Amino acid sequence: MTFELKKICEYVIEVREDDELVSRYLFDNRKQFKPYMYPLNVPGGLCITEDGPRDHVHHRSMWTAHGDINGVDFWSETSESGRQTVRSVSIESSEDLGIIESDEIWTSKTGSPVLDVHKKFIFRKTVDGLRIIDVEVNFTASYGDVKF
């Protein structure tokens, strides 16, 4: 089994294990409030998440957010919400792992920086039908005190 991670367009990274789609990392800063993974497929290809169901359009498959950081809502997707802007992305793959790392700046609706975020997604080789994805999220208060 081997992992293949590749940028299929400017704002999409595709994760495959043995040519089977595992997920895509979507990070179009122009159109999205936050980066997220979609689809999220189990071995065999069944997708187990949704990309924004009609009653909760901001619930996009697998993502990280909080509803109140220094008074800024990063959870919702409205004109009052903050944004998570991806500044850089790196990918690495091997026989046993696929890794996506991203650096982001989270800003208020006016564009004021609130904090910096580093994310690391580690896709592990499927064993006995079990697919494991580790997610590490590090918040850095680069612009002053931060209250959750």
Element containing residue 5 per DSSP (H, E): strand 3-9
The pTM assigned to this predicted structure is 0.93
Q: What local confidence, expressed as pLDDT, does residue 1 receive?
A: 61
Distance CA 5, CA 124 (A): 13
Domain for residue 146, yes or no?
Answer: no
Closest to 102 (Cα-Cα) out of 22, 12, 16, 3: 12
Which domain covers residue 126, as residue numbers?
A: 3-140
Q: Show pLDDT as tens, one digit a residue, over the chain (148 residues).
A: 689 999 999 999 999 999 999 999 999 999 999 999 999 999 999 999 988 767 777 677 899 999 999 999 999 999 999 999 999 999 999 999 999 999 999 999 999 999 999 999 999 999 999 999 999 999 999 999 999 9
Domain for residue 147, yes or no?
Answer: no
List the end-to-end C-alpha distance of the chain, in Å, as a whole number: 41
Domain for residue 131, yes or no?
Answer: yes
Domain for residue 15, yes or no?
Answer: yes
Q: How many domains does the chain have?
A: 1
Domain for residue 58, yes or no?
Answer: yes
Domain for residue 65, yes or no?
Answer: yes
Distance CA 26, CA 81 (A): 19
